[in-house]
Structure 1
Amino acid sequence: MSDLILVLNCGSSSIKFALFDGGRVRFNRMPLWNGKVNGITGPCPTFDETGIAPSPIALDPSAPYHEALTHIAKRVQARRGDHRIRAIAHRVVHGGSRYFQPTLVNAEVLADLRSFIPLAPLHQPFALEAIERLLEERPELPQVACFDTGFHHTLPRVEQMLPISWEAWERGIRRYGFHGLSYEYQSIALADRYGDRARGRTIVAHLGSGASLCGMRDLRSVATTMGFSALDGLMMGTRTGALDPGALLYLMEIEKIPLHDVGQLLYHKSGLLGLSGISSDPRVLLDREATEPRARDALALYVRRIVRELGAMTAALGGLDLLAFTAGVGEHNTILRERICQDLSFMGIELDPEANSSHGAVISTQQSSILIAVEPTNEEWIAALRANDLIGNPDVAGIGNPSQDA
């Protein structure tokens, strides 16, 4: 076994990790070992390893995130044996208009990335905290940032623009797009499985606690639903998705809700949770929709927003050849996939109920005019692959050049 690549995917309450064989990462997409620390800020944090039941761990409540990273480091040390960690790859949500390729992080880059925290407050600060700590403790170990915005660097100019002042555009206020590591993986996996069909007009629906769509042509991003921030587009577990800005002005000017509280509402108290008043988890709402009207309404709007955006994106692509579902909801929720496809039947989509219920790779019938696929995502592998490429050949990647439109 060769040197190892460790991948860290840091969120506000969990840290996912995966360990890859650097010598075989291009050929083997499965990690040697992976898992996560869950519930970091809650009363009962756990350490989860794939294939092993979660075990409770104790984290110092005054510095739980730091403690979680320490716990992972100790377990990685025990697992790696005599093999060297070659690099650590980090999923970093926002790279702004400058960073779009995998990038070696130093103090200057880290300072730049901190300036993007307001654009991705749920994820950016936690990834940067992990990078900062590791730069201090292991300065000889390369830290590679892999950006969720990077895959969308190919968006046409018209898709990047926002209908506000030109001065705002010049200051970098534009549509960036997110979930890029997931979409980059899909661009590889779908091409492997479906060949030329995937290279045509493809939409990938990344449906998890966060949710977005990406329209691709020739496996490159040409349209996406998330924009300047990860609040735009589809309705999500706790986030609003696209929202009339007049509603926000009303809340702040007429109802006098403070800016901080509006932020909490948009990011943490809206979406499925906000409308239902029950849960952000569609599985919980599906169990209760027969008796809870708010659960039923929340799910109906969730599906409607996906269908509306799929229709709009199909128009932007000039048609549709392949629709792929991915991420937690997309990969596992047969009922919501069925409802979405039913509402798209006017496009010639025909769902195979048996294939859908068994989570087949293809869930459309042979008569369907559009191929419907279910393709598990693998963000960690993309990060490991790109970090391995960068460390092996630093000339192919690095600090992204500023966009010509910046």
Structure 2
Amino acid sequence: MNILVINSGSSSIKYQLFKMPVKSPVCSGLVERIGIEGSFIKHSVYKGEEKVVLEKSGFILDHAEGLKQVLFLLSEGENAVIASPDDIAAVGHRVVHGGEHFSGPTLITPEVKEEIRKLFSLAPLHNPVNLKCIEVAEETFSQAKQVAIFDTAFHQTIPQQAFRYAIPDQYYNKEGIRVYGFHGTSHKYVSEQAIQYLDKKESKIISIHLGNGCSMTAIKDGKSVDTTMGFGPLSGLVMGTRSGDIDPSVIFHLIEHSGYSLSQLSTLFNKQSGLLGVGGSSDMRDIRKLVNEGNEAAILAIQLYAYRIKKFIGAYAAVLNGIDAILFTAGVGENDKDMRAAVCSELSYLGIEMDIQSNSDYSGGIKDISLDNSKVKILVIPTNEEYEIAQQCYNLWN
């Protein structure tokens, strides 16, 4: 059963084609820096032990353009992996916000698309992009089943004292205002990998997903019990363009004293803040270059980013009453050794002690980068949201 998985982020599209139930993909790829100077596509086709890599650079305006180029790579040329669009049985789409409507894999219908559209205001960087990619895929793979996998589903196990806000009941009961949590597919996948690696089903794990969007989840015995993102994906950690946690009084102040509209504030906190607002770029690689040049704004951005993560490690240690392991995953978590080191520094009181050389030598796969005597394991685990999505799609029919 051929299942194409589309995982569209705020500035990227990751994709993989699986011939389920085989875990290894037929092909995979990444469209990166969408809408940013330096856009490129890296497309890999797996032929037994051989991997054919195709790379293409050039400005990609938006996700619709990026996805159309991906679909061309899948079906055209000597490295095509499908003869026609009809070879795809299902397309699995990562959708960020499902509100309280969706708690599992969902076949996409006009009604489902309308619900996704209604949630645009709660995930303004992602749900519009997710819906656009769904619509492009519907046109291209007209015979395939389109399936939505929602980031919010994994966090449905969060207890009421963690997901409720301290506001009158009517706002939850009538308007559904609560913590939903995001990156659930990633947190679910890496925590399951960690539990298997540790051989410890009864476990206390803090999963740290660091990409353009960032979140942390406290996971007890494989279930989410708290997470940093809330009603929308704006809260919690410092991110590529999002501010993360901010005192609501700042919003009131800007409205009352500076004349900001709600639309301007949404743009400010969702698209102009975070690493971009403080350090000058939403891409951690660009920030690192600026840090190496001694740029003080970039140095501060790095410090803010690491500090917020450390603060939540302490909070979640309290929530879990201890920690067995912390997990680093996603683009920054897997690839930025300096950020991992900054986060884990001065946490020995919690039993978190990093092996600096092991951290520096990390080159892929699941790896323990903690010292032998560290009470808490520090694991780097590459996320595989695409396979998790494919598996959930496959399970709908098998």
**Could you state the TM-score of these two structures normalised by the residue count of structure 1?**
0.88
Q: For 1:127 and 1:11, how far apart are their aligned partners in 2?
A: 8
Residue 387 of structure 2 is aligned to residue 384 of structure 1: no
Matched residue SS, 1:232: coil
Matched residue SS, 1:79: coil
Q: For 2:57 and 2:236, how far apart are their aligned partners in 1?
A: 36
| 1:374 alignment counterpart | 380
Residue 23 of structure 2 is aligned to residue 35 of structure 1: no
Residue 180 of structure 2 is aligned to residue 186 of structure 1: no
1:292 is displaced (CA, Å) by 2.4
Distance 1:80 1:110, change over 3 A: same
- 1:316 pairs, out of 316, 319, 340, with 319
Q: For 1:42 and 1:322, how far apart are their aligned partners in 2?
A: 35
Matched residue SS, 1:254: helix
Q: For 1:249 and 1:92, how far apart are their aligned partners in 2?
A: 31
Give matches, 1:114-129, under 5 Å. Answer: 114-129=117-132
1:96 is displaced (CA, Å) by 0.7
Distance 1:305 1:39, change over 3 A: closer
1:330 is displaced (CA, Å) by 1.0
Residue 53 of structure 2 is aligned to residue 52 of structure 1: yes
1:253 is displaced (CA, Å) by 0.9
Distance 1:208 1:68, change over 3 A: closer
Give matches, 1:259-278, under 5 Å. Answer: 259-276=262-279, 278=280
**Which whole-Å deviations, capped at 9, do the CAs of 1:265-317 have from their partners, x for residues lacking one?**
101211122122x2233344344436222222222221111111110111011
| 2:49 alignment counterpart | none
Distance 1:86 1:232, change over 3 A: same
| 2:48 alignment counterpart | none
Matched residue SS, 1:80: coil
Question: Contact 1:325 / 1:331 at 8 angstroms: preserved in 2?
Answer: yes
Residue 298 of structure 2 is aligned to residue 295 of structure 1: yes
Give matches, 1:182-331, under 5 Å. Answer: 182-196=186-200, 199-276=202-279, 278-289=280-291, 291-331=294-334
Structure 2: 5+ residue stretches without partners: 45-51
Matched residue SS, 1:391: coil
Distance 1:352 1:43, change over 3 A: closer
Q: For 1:172 and 1:166, how far apart are their aligned partners in 2?
A: 10
What is the percentage of aligned positions where both structures have the same residue? 38
Distance 1:240 1:65, change over 3 A: closer
Distance 1:242 1:65, change over 3 A: closer
Matched residue SS, 1:376: coil
User: Which amino acid in 1 is paired with 2:17?
Assistant: L
User: Which amino acid in 1 is paired with 2:144?
Assistant: L
Q: RMSD value over aligned CA atoms?
A: 2.2
Question: Contact 2:189 / 2:388 at 8 angstroms: preserved in 1?
Answer: yes
Structure 1: 5+ residue stretches without partners: 393-406
Question: Contact 1:307 / 1:340 at 8 angstroms: preserved in 2?
Answer: yes
1:118 is displaced (CA, Å) by 0.7
- Structure scoring higher RCO (CA < 8 A, sep ≥ 6) equals 1
Q: For 1:280 and 1:74, how far apart are their aligned partners in 2?
A: 29
Distance 1:120 1:55, change over 3 A: same
| 2:90 alignment counterpart | 87
1:88 is displaced (CA, Å) by 0.4
Matched residue SS, 2:323: coil
1:263 is displaced (CA, Å) by 1.2
| 1:19 alignment counterpart | 17
1:344 is displaced (CA, Å) by 1.3
Q: For 1:311 and 1:333, how far apart are their aligned partners in 2?
A: 21
Q: For 2:284 and 2:126, how far apart are their aligned partners in 1?
A: 22
Greater CA drift, 367-376 or 298-307 = 298-307
Matched residue SS, 1:97: coil
1:69 is displaced (CA, Å) by 3.1
Greater CA drift, 87-96 or 125-134 = 125-134
Number of residue-to-residue matches in the alignment: 381
Distance 1:226 1:41, change over 3 A: same
Distance 1:140 1:161, change over 3 A: same
Distance 1:271 1:343, change over 3 A: farther
1:178 is displaced (CA, Å) by 0.4
| 1:5 alignment counterpart | 3
1:65 is displaced (CA, Å) by 4.3
User: Which amino acid in 1 is paired with 2:180?
Assistant: Y
| Structure 1 residue ranges (4+ consecutive) displaced by more than 4 angstroms after TM superposition | 42-45, 136-139
**Could you state the TM-score of these two structures normalised by the residue count of structure 2?**
0.89
Matched residue SS, 2:89: strand
Question: Contact 2:88 / 2:141 at 8 angstroms: preserved in 1?
Answer: no
Question: Contact 1:307 / 1:343 at 8 angstroms: preserved in 2?
Answer: no
1:138 is displaced (CA, Å) by 4.4
User: Which amino acid in 1 is paired with 2:199?
Assistant: G
1:128 is displaced (CA, Å) by 1.1
Question: Contact 1:200 / 1:218 at 8 angstroms: preserved in 2?
Answer: yes
1:213 is displaced (CA, Å) by 0.6
User: Which amino acid in 2 is paired with 1:316?
Assistant: V
Q: For 2:8 and 2:304, how far apart are their aligned partners in 1?
A: 30
| 1:69 alignment counterpart | 67
